[in-house]
Amino acid sequence: MAKISGLGMTTLSVDDATGTPRDIRNDVTNFDIATPRATQDTTGVDKSAMERLLLLADASGTLTGVVNPSANRAHAVLSTVSSTSVARTITMTVGGVTLANECVITDYGVKRAASGELTYDAPFALADGTVPTWT
């Protein structure tokens, strides 16, 4: 497989509050996602360098985009974050590889810039203990 860009995402969907996946690619302008592993320091006093064990896996990130109040678009999907306590599947596919995780979205922050832009940030974190894996 050749190197790829982030252009032309084939999937970026987020479940709405009822669990229905909604394609919000057109409303997301950028995102970040991290899949870190916790570590445990196991360095004995007999060592001159760090020793560590890998522990639990995690995933977190933020979706950023333009507010779109149309039905089943980003605003409709994310505006219910404050009034519903449900995990949501976030699925991303680019270049034939997919990452799908059950996540909690912790905020839907809308901001209006001095220039008039109306954008949002929606931070998320892993919800169900399933190791995040690109397939």
Name beta bridge partners: 110.
120
Per-residue pLDDT tens over the stretch 53-85: 999 999 999 999 999 999 999 999 999 998 998
% of the chain at pLDDT higher than 90 = 90
Phi and psi at 62, nearest 5°, equal -145, 135
What amino acid is encoded at 8 in this protein?
G
Enumerate residues 6+ apart whose C-beta is below 8 A from 132.
35, 57, 58, 59, 99, 101, 126
CA distance 32 to 4: 17
**Helix/strand/coil for 18:** coil
What amino acid is encoded at 75 in this protein?
H
pTM of the prediction?
Answer: 0.88
Strand pairing category for 11-15 and 21-23: antiparallel
Per-residue pLDDT tens over the stretch 25-56: 999 999 999 999 999 999 999 999 999 999 99
Per-residue pLDDT tens over the stretch 112-134: 999 999 999 999 999 999 999 99
